Structure 1
Amino acid sequence: MSNISPQLKVLSIDIGGSHIKATVLDKDGALLVDYNKVETPQPATPENVVNAIKKLAKPFEGFNRISVGFPGYVRDSIVKTAPNLANAAWANFNLGKKLEEELGCPAAVVNDADMQGLGVVAGKGLELVITLGTGFGTALLLDGKLLPHLEVGQSPVTKTKTYDKFIGEKAFEHEGKKKWNTRMKRVLKNLKTLFNYDYLYIGGGNARELDFELDKNIKLVTNKDGIKGGARLWAPQQAIKPKKQLSTIKK
């Protein structure tokens, strides 16, 4: 993968708890077509999700690689856990191989926060990416290179709640915005102590619900920035160049 053809075209897919989104990217992560999305099927079994991806991909032409961001623990494109989908059905499902068979080109699958991280980081120092959506996703990168994935969302933050349950979508709906923001202050304090990061990037649909002032080394990023990480799964890590500015979500 060190020599990337200028003709590289990547079908980049983001699988979420509520929607599956897709676009086609060039080798630099620029969008070649508009986004398309469908609702995540229920139940979100491997068969149903793969069928939804095939439906999404049908209008797109000319892609020769596939990148997928998946909401769970993934190793070598094989899904190990899927806590916000039909979890048991996904255990040890080789999503990469299945998509290669169905769509006819090489596929790489990583955790969705990892793919978003590749799309948004500046590529300098220790950078942490979190996603606030159906669940709580995390990715950690050092000088633009992904470090081993940690399922922080499944670890406890209280005696009875994981991060997923503490600040996920259901918690936001049940507790309301004010209490959720109080919880987020606690979570950000925990992350600062735990990782001692240089920069923190916050994405996901609920990032825009944050209503307090953030530290100077924390930035809000868009899902569009994140899906661009799909191109970097097929490009050299050194392709990440320091950025002067990042897209932000206006509150």
Structure 2
Amino acid sequence: MSEEPHGPLTLAVDCGGGGIKASVLDARGTMIAQPTRTPTPYPLPPDMLVDLVEDLGRKLPACDRVSVGMPGMLRHGVVIHTPHYVCKSGPRTRVLPELVEQWHHCDIRRALAERIGVPALVLNDAEVAGAGVITGTGLEVIVTLGTGLGNSVWDGRRLAPHMEISRMPVRWGLIYDDYIGEHERLRLGDAHWSRRVRRVVDALRPALLWDRLYIGGGNGVRIAASQRRLLGDDVVIVPNDAGIRGGVRCWEMDL
């Protein structure tokens, strides 16, 4: 265990479809080590993800607890569904039924806590990012843009039950992940893709009626300036490091 001049040290791990990043932060949310990153390997069964988190932790200062954000729906640290890690060669490749079986109802929080030997929290990656940016006032929503679309909803400092908006249909046969994901940004270019982002915001606003919407993730900063101006005063674009910094604040939230 580490010495705690400023409270517990947290190993925060942000697991994405393309890369897995980690750093150690003090109780104020300040990184005490440069983040380390590794490409996401595929296929990725649960035990391999646990190995990766442990390996990243060994490269960083000792921690007192670990926070992990990963894609998909989790309840109390148990995976209900994860969209990318069940694929043979990465997002949008063939789904392996044996991986679906391994991930379904996998208690990944327990597996990490037992392996690393410290208390663990495992949440959807957008939930961790949300914890890193919300003010705790009113209804706040975060949408993360990366491999796909992530989201979390907060009422004050209370996390609402998770909804996989990424799986909802934009129109017949097309879901939000397919409409706004990284593969479409690369195909369309930032300008056209940014118009799609604005359409998504316009579609979600009457359904959620947020007080504040945050847009983060690796592609949040790629939204064209011409479209940013049209998003509305209730929309804020936040840095991608929220997925790491939220690893401390999520311990303080009502989950």
Give TM-score scaled by structure 1 length.
Answer: 0.88
Q: Match for 2:54: what amino acid?
A: K
Kindly state the Cα deviation for residue 179 of structure 1 after the two structures are TM-superposed.
Answer: 2.8
Flag as ranges the 4+ runs of structure 1 deviating above 6 A. Answer: none
What is the SS of the residue equivalent to 2:169? coil
- The match for 1:142 is 155
Which ranges in structure 1 are unaligned for 5 or more consecutive residues?
A: 238-251
| Cα distance in structure 2, aligned partners of 1:109 and 1:25 | 16
Is the CA contact (8 Å cut-off) linking 1:84 and 1:135 kept in structure 2?
A: no
Is the CA contact (8 Å cut-off) linking 1:41 and 1:52 kept in structure 2?
A: no
Kindly state the Cα deviation for residue 5 of structure 1 after the two structures are TM-superposed.
Answer: 9.3
Work out which of the residue numbers 103, 108, 113 in structure 2 matches 1:90.
103
Is the CA contact (8 Å cut-off) linking 1:131 and 1:207 kept in structure 2?
A: yes
Work out which of the residue numbers 197, 201, 222 in structure 2 matches 1:184.
197
Question: Structure 1 residues 100 and 145, CA, compared in 2 at 3 Å: closer, same or farther?
Answer: same
| Cα distance in structure 2, aligned partners of 1:221 and 1:105 | 30
Alignment of 1:160-239 (within 5 A): 160-211=173-224, 212=227, 213=229, 214-235=231-252
What is the SS of the residue equivalent to 1:80? strand
Alignment of 1:1-16 (within 5 A): 6-16=6-16
Give TM-score scaled by structure 2 length.
Answer: 0.87
Identity of aligned residues (%): 35
Kindly state the Cα deviation for residue 33 of structure 1 after the two structures are TM-superposed.
Answer: 1.4
Q: Match for 2:199: what amino acid?
A: R
Is the CA contact (8 Å cut-off) linking 1:118 and 1:232 kept in structure 2?
A: yes
Kindly state the Cα deviation for residue 146 of structure 1 after the two structures are TM-superposed.
Answer: 1.1
- Once the two structures are superposed, residues 31-87 of structure 1 have per-residue CA deviations (whole angstroms, 9 ceiling, x without a partner) of 121111111111122122222112111122331111111111011111111112216
Is the CA contact (8 Å cut-off) linking 1:40 and 1:49 kept in structure 2?
A: no
1:103 aligns with 2:116: yes
Measured on the aligned residues, the alpha-carbon RMSD in Å equals 1.7
1:33 aligns with 2:33: yes
| Cα distance in structure 2, aligned partners of 1:50 and 1:103 | 9
- The match for 2:76 is 76
Is the CA contact (8 Å cut-off) linking 1:40 and 1:52 kept in structure 2?
A: no
Q: Match for 2:250: what amino acid?
A: L
Equivalent residue pairs, number: 234
What is the SS of the residue equivalent to 2:174? coil
| Cα distance in structure 2, aligned partners of 1:66 and 1:35 | 14
Q: Match for 2:206: what amino acid?
A: T
